[in-house]
């Protein structure tokens, strides 16, 4: 088991290497979009039971919140790899966009002050 920290770029390389070694090929972009949706649904199920009003069913007890998030990250990385997106670069640009757009918005939101 590998417990070292890795960068987003390293994660993209590791997924690509895994696909080439064990996965035969990437699933199609459309299939990966459907899988991503499925994985987000599994995360939503856990969140609604852990933090919402629903109770856990016996079959829900096997789910691990971190593992479900990692499943989402895996599929997202697959989609980035197969569409030529550098997630590290995209994340940096996205943070800059959000900061420029929202740097005052949330601070001034009275709903968030309580």
Q: What is the pTM of this model?
A: 0.87
Is residue 66 included in any domain, yes or no?
yes
What is the percentage of the chain residues whose pLDDT exceeds 70?
Answer: 97
Domains contained in the chain, number: 1
Residue 40, in any domain of the structure? yes
CATH number at residue 70: 1.10.287.1080
**pLDDT beyond 60 at 1:** no
Higher pLDDT, 79 or 111: 79
Question: pLDDT digit string (tens) for 39-80?
Answer: 999 999 999 999 999 888 887 778 899 999 999 999 999 999
User: 110 in a domain, yes or no?
Assistant: no
Q: CA dist 97 to 16, 58, 101, 103, 105, Å?
A: 28, 43, 6, 10, 13
Furthest-apart CA pair in the chain: how many Å? 52
């Amino acid at each position: 088991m590998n417990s070292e920290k890795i960068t987003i770029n390293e994660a993209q390389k590791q997924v690509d290497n895994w696909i080439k070694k064990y996965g035969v090929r990437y699933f199609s972009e459309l299939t990966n979009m459907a899988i991503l949706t499925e994985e987000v649904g599994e995360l939503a199920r856990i969140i609604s039971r852990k933090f919402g009003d629903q109770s856990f069913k016996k079959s829900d007890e096997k789910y691990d919140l971190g593992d479900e998030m990692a499943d989402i990250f895996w599929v997202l990385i697959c989609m980035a790899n197969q569409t030529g997106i550098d997630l590290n670069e995209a994340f940096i640009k996205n943070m800059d966009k959000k900061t420029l757009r929202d740097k005052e918005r949330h601070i001034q939101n009275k709903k968030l002050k309580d």
